[in-house]
Amino acid sequence: MNNKNFTPILDVNVSVLTYKKVIRKIEEWIVNNKKEYICVAAVHLVMECQRDENLLKGVNKAGLVTPDGMPLVWILKLKGKKDVERVYGPDLMLKMCRFAQGKGYKIFLLGGAKGESRILARKLKEKFPKLKIVGFKDTLKRPLLKKENKLVIDRINQSRADIVFVGMGCPFQELWIIENRRKLKANVLIGVGVAFDFITGRVRQAPKFIQNIGLEWFFRLLQEPGRLWYRYTVLNLMFIYLCLKRIGFNIKIRKK
């Protein structure tokens, strides 16, 4: 990881930052023509990293790993990182689009169900009329087939985008970004998870007060129990167990 200000949570190096710091870092990368990527980390990504070593290595090589989930923010605060705030994928995307509009940066939208990336482009133009959206592409199959992936990379490179928002869902978007970072000319790749669905209105977003108390997962579980039950029950419980186990291990070490 290029960012030195991070704290490991189950071996995932989560950056200690705020929205302002993220935007400042992205601008720095673009101005200096650097090639970086950002992972937004919720409990789901942290748990996927526990069973996929290559994913863990790739996530930890990211320029930034933002604390997307409230449990990660709480852990960072418990570890004394008082200046951290939740840097949530959907909100980060909107804040970056507003910033990109002001700076004239070009963006590309990759992800979504059939026709969703086009709808997303329209919704973003309604919010940010001067935003330069230089391309969009749905990703119906995840992971992408090799032939289609090459076409996608060529299309993004030809668009001369500065920022690519990738909305394939975890862990597909992170794996795609890690695998293809070197092939892409865009300065910044950002995995934004369910942001595409929220902004287009395809999926209803939890109210802010529910997000702030850390119950967004429950709100989403009620909407899509068949698809999300494993992620928000089994993986969440495993995350709590592993965190408690890690704390217990540290206590034993100190006693010795």
Confidence at residue 247, expressed as pLDDT on a 0 to 100 scale: 74
**Percent of the chain surpassing pLDDT 90:** 75
pTM of the model: 0.91
The strand pair at 36-41 and 64-67 is best described as parallel
Confidence at residue 251, expressed as pLDDT on a 0 to 100 scale: 44
Q: pLDDT tens-digit profile of 57-81?
A: 999 999 999 999 999 999 999 999 9
Adjacency order of strands within the sheet including 36-41: 64-67, 36-41, 188-191, 163-167, 106-111, 132-137
pLDDT at position 98 over 70: yes
Domain boundaries, the chain: 6-197, 210-255
Confidence at residue 71, expressed as pLDDT on a 0 to 100 scale: 93
CATH number of the domain located at residue range(s) 6-197 in this protein: 3.40.50
Confidence at residue 3, expressed as pLDDT on a 0 to 100 scale: 62
Confidence at residue 206, expressed as pLDDT on a 0 to 100 scale: 85
82-116 b/e (C-beta count within 10 Å ≥ 16 → b): eebbbbbbbbbbbbbbebbbeeebbbbbbbbeeeb
